Amino acid sequence: MRPILLKGGRVIDPARGLDLVADVLIVDGKIAGVGPGLGAPDGAETASVTGMVVAPGLIDVHVHLREPGREDAETVATGARAAAAGGFTAVCAMPNTDPVTDNQAAVGFIVKQAAAARAARVYPIGAISVGQRGEQLAEFGEMVGAGAVAVSDDGHPVVSSHLMRTALEYALSFGIPVAEHCEDPGLAGTGVMHAGIVSTRLGLRGIPAAAEEIMVARNVLLAELTGGHTHLCHISTRGSVDLIRWGKARGVNVTAETTPHHFSLTHEACEGYDTNAKMNPPLRTAADVEAVREGLRDGTLDMIATDHAPHHYEAKEREFDDAPFGVVGLETALGLALTELVDGGYLSLPQLIDRMSTMPARVFHLPGGTLQPGTVADLVVFDPASSWVVDPDRFLSKSRNTPFAGRTLRGKVVMTLVGGDRVHVAAT
Amino acid sequence: MTVLSLGKDLLGLEPLSPDQIRLILDTAEPFKEVSERPIKKVPALRGKTIVNLFFEASTRTRISFEFAEKRLSADTVNVAAQGSSVQKGENLVDTARNLEAMRIDMVVVRHPSSGAAKFLAERIRSNVVNGGDGMHEHPTQALLDMLTIRDRMGRLEGLKVCICGDVSHSRVARSNIWGLTKLGAEVAVCGPQTLIPGAVGDLGVTVFRRIEEAIEWADVLNVLRLQLERMKAGYIPSLREYYRVFGVTLERLEHAPRDILILHPGPMNRGVEIDSRVADGPHSVILDQVTNGVAVRMAVLYLLAGGRPELADAAKGTDRGGGA
């Protein structure tokens, strides 16, 4: 592999507090140097990236790649390519596949499919419980041995506080986070959107904010009890942000993520029964959106994750009650974050890279997240100035279920490199 | 003069203007008389094909629509597709496309999912009338309620109407709230908080948690049917207690400061939400509602088919006429 010299970009590395115009040299798939006026070694390929941002590749700790089971909606390979197109160099695949990724062989299958894709890295997340049935712990040790980086029963909240306690305790031996979809299923019931004025008008069954907050509070308390690491997925409410802030102030090992749709949209997006705005947790109120943005700003919410949830188009082309929850996110996340959070004045560009790369790498103990010489050359190069219009027909994901079609977003991915390999280059 | 119309579909009362709602009520007036004739038929919709597509059980609404259609001389087909489309493994999109392919003119749809009528309307060229979608709207029921109140009280503006019972799960309640508030009535809801949506106050209605307070306040009570499933789902402890605490009984009405008009969309659970002596008593207009239902539905079908309101009188009067 020829060395690559990226010349003259705005290099941002939040892990080292760097934000300067400089060159980045990549040799043998690793960062070899960062600094102004680097010379190109013999045989190096030089790319001028003036005006572009060069940053550690984005990392998404929460995606659904549907393989095995629903290859019509997404596969590991198409998901990894969609990720690369969105500037992600690594994603973590949730285990709610069919069959469930709840053993070392199933984890190994994801690893094998990911290697063949040659796009973004895909790290499997194993199930907390066998079959995600919430009864018996899955074999964390063997799954970690096969490549799992975390455990979660995402999509099926762990109802039993005893099971969650033992999961947090048992995970301590392997140093992995226990990621939880916070939802009290009894309270959420058969709800299909946020319980509020919009659900009242539309006559749709509501999911109250408390259904999430009760479980956030429980998990913070269980993490305190056990000393385990609870990672709370796709936080959507003001109350949850307050509870996490409270937990962190007490020194509890709690980390949390929120999604681009939860910081961009309110429940009003469900008007007209738009099934592309149906997701779980549901879109909330403007006050919740504000709290989520503030949580990202002050670090209460450590990172942005997409909860990329592809669905075949006909699954969404039906009555709101019967459509599945979920929205694709990999190819719009960076644009939404730049438009809503950076332009909106909530985050600086280095803070955004921190929430989308450095923090996910740190919290999930993944390679990357920095441009420190010697680390893997997982990078994204993007043009922060250019705007584009979301056109789902151009997605590399197999699915098109986005509520952002037609939205103008700022920030275009130019190039994504994984281990020094250009896995995505934007068409010019 | 601008010509007022309803547009392609009647999906609910929320999207309608006060003038559009008044247009329907006023158009219903001349159609009332058709049902009083020995030969109950006018040619206004002759040659029109209407499908009554019912994904949920209904007796009264379906029959009322069917009479309305037949009295307007339309050709009608009833399709009863029981259970939700998913349970049946059938797909509302395919149903819509098949109907469209048969070149029908109008569809009256009832469906257990909120938004289903809109979903259908966006995918076919035919006029769609919402005959009740999930917990969302049941516009023709609210229109017939309003027509009945207007008949008896002479007006809607300034009247105090309280909707009693299971407001959370009720499409009748939502359509009544929109229609009545748009025409200037004051609206309240009353019931146990388990059956009242938390955000209902944001729709501009007052909430009473005790039936005695509602009776003290109201000119009109619209008493909703309490679905028996609500007890099984834990929203109320027992039907017996519901009647004792929230039932509209003769004893409670005797304490009212004024005569109260009693409506009920049916079918009634006598001795649960309403006392038989009230349902059958002098203040009840429950059977007038049923009679008015046919006239209101005739008006809606006539207007959607392009009938001009000023010709409604003529349309019913002659075999040659018909603005449709």
Q: Residue A134 burial by CB count (10 A; 0-12/13-18/19+): exposed, middle or buried? A: middle
Residue A428: its pLDDT value, please?
Answer: 66
Size of interface A-B (CB pairs under 8 A): 72
Mean pLDDT of all residues in A372-398:
97
**Interface ipTM:** 0.89
B92: nearest CA partner in chain A: A318
Chain B residues with beta carbon closer than 8 angstroms to that of A200: 197-200, 202-203
Q: Is the pLDDT of residue B187 over 60?
A: yes
Mean pLDDT of all residues in B96-115:
92
Residue B1: its pLDDT value, please?
Answer: 46
User: Which residue did the predictor score with more confidence, B234 or A179?
Assistant: A179
- Catalytic hit among A307, A354, A378, A383: A307
Rg (CA), chain A: 20
Residue A10: its pLDDT value, please?
Answer: 98
* Sign of the torsion angle spanned by Cα atoms B207, B213, B218, B222: positive
Q: Residue A374 burial by CB count (10 A; 0-12/13-18/19+): exposed, middle or buried? A: exposed
Determine, for residues B115 and A319 on separate chains, whether the beta-carbon distance falls below 8 Å.
yes
B2 pLDDT tier (thresholds 50, 70, 90) = low
Angle at B114 between CA B86 and CA B25, to 5 degrees: 135
Residue A37: its pLDDT value, please?
Answer: 92
Q: Is the pLDDT of residue B87 over 70?
A: no
Quote the mean pLDDT of chain A.
97
Q: Is the pLDDT of residue A312 over 90?
A: yes
B96 pLDDT tier (thresholds 50, 70, 90) = confident
Q: Could you read off the pLDDT of A245-269 as tens digits, one per residue?
A: 999 999 999 999 999 999 999 999 9
Share of chain B above pLDDT 90, in %: 80
Angle at A276 between CA A86 and CA A89, to 5 degrees: 15
The helix (H) or strand (E) run that includes residue A408 is strand A408-418
B94 pLDDT tier (thresholds 50, 70, 90) = confident
Residue with tokens 């151009």: A394
**What are the contacts of A264-269 at 24+ separation with CB within 8 A?**
A264/A289, A264/A336, A264/A340, A264/A404, A265/A289, A265/A403, A267/A193, A267/A194, A267/A196, A267/A198, A267/A199, A268/A198, A269/A403
Cis bond upstream, residue A99 (ω within 30) = yes
Name the amino acid, one letter, at B135.
M
Q: Could you read off the pLDDT of A7-58 as tens digits, one per residue?
A: 999 999 999 999 999 999 999 999 999 999 999 999 999 999 999 999 999 9
Q: Could you read off the pLDDT of A205-225 as tens digits, one per residue?
A: 999 999 999 999 999 999 999
B317 pLDDT tier (thresholds 50, 70, 90) = low
* Sign of the torsion angle spanned by Cα atoms A339, A343, A344, A348: positive
Q: Is the pLDDT of residue B82 over 70?
A: no
Residue B93: its pLDDT value, please?
Answer: 79
How far is Cα B314 from Cα B289, in angstroms, rounded to an integer?
A: 25
Picking from A201, A207, A312 by the largest number of B CB atoms within 10 A of its own CB, the best residue to mutate is A201
Quote the mean pLDDT of chain B.
91
Cis bond upstream, residue B267 (ω within 30) = yes
Q: Could you read off the pLDDT of A331-363 as tens digits, one per residue?
A: 999 999 999 999 999 999 999 999 999 999 999
Chain B residues with beta carbon closer than 8 angstroms to that of A274: none
Mean pLDDT of all residues in B144-167:
97
Mean pLDDT of all residues in B273-291:
96
Chain A residues with beta carbon closer than 8 angstroms to that of B116: 319
Q: Is the pLDDT of residue B85 over 90?
A: no
Q: Is the pLDDT of residue A173 over 90?
A: yes
How far is Cα A87 from Cα A109, in angstroms, rounded to an integer?
A: 24
Residue with tokens 């280095």: A350
Q: Is the pLDDT of residue B322 over 50?
A: no
Mean pLDDT of all residues in B212-228:
96
How far is Cα A287 from Cα A301, in angstroms, rounded to an integer?
A: 16
How far is Cα B171 from Cα B136, in angstroms, rounded to an integer?
A: 5
Mean pLDDT of all residues in B220-228:
94
Is A307 tagged catalytic? yes
Supply B210's token pair: 């005790």
Give the minimum alpha-carbon distance from B295 to chain A in angstroms, rounded to a whole number. 27
Chain A residues with beta carbon closer than 8 angstroms to that of B92: 318-319
Instruction: Note whether A238 and A287 are within 8 A (CB).
Output: yes
Q: What is the 3-state secondary structure (H, E, C) of chain B?
A: CCCCCCCCCECCCCCCCHHHHHHHHHHHHHHHHHHHCCCCCCCCCCCCEEEEEECCCCCHHHHHHHHHHHHCCCEEEEEECCCCHHHHCCCHHHHHHHHHHCCCCEEEEEECCCCHHHHHHCCCCCEEEEEEECCCECHHHHHHHHHHHHHHHCCCCCCEEEEECCCCCCHHHHHHHHHHHHCCCEEEEECCHHHCCCCHHHHCCEEECCHHHHHHHCCEEEECCCCCHHHHCCCCCCHHHHHHHHCECHHHHHCCCCCCEEECCCCCCECCCECHHHHCCCCECHHHHHHHHHHHHHHHHHHHCCCCHHHHHHHHHCCCCCCC
Q: Could you read off the pLDDT of B125-153 as tens digits, one per residue?
A: 999 999 999 999 999 999 999 999 999 99
How far is Cα B9 from Cα B65, in angstroms, rounded to an integer?
A: 15
Mean pLDDT of all residues in B11-39:
95
B319 pLDDT tier (thresholds 50, 70, 90) = very low
Which SS3 state, helix, strand or coil, does residue A416 take?
strand
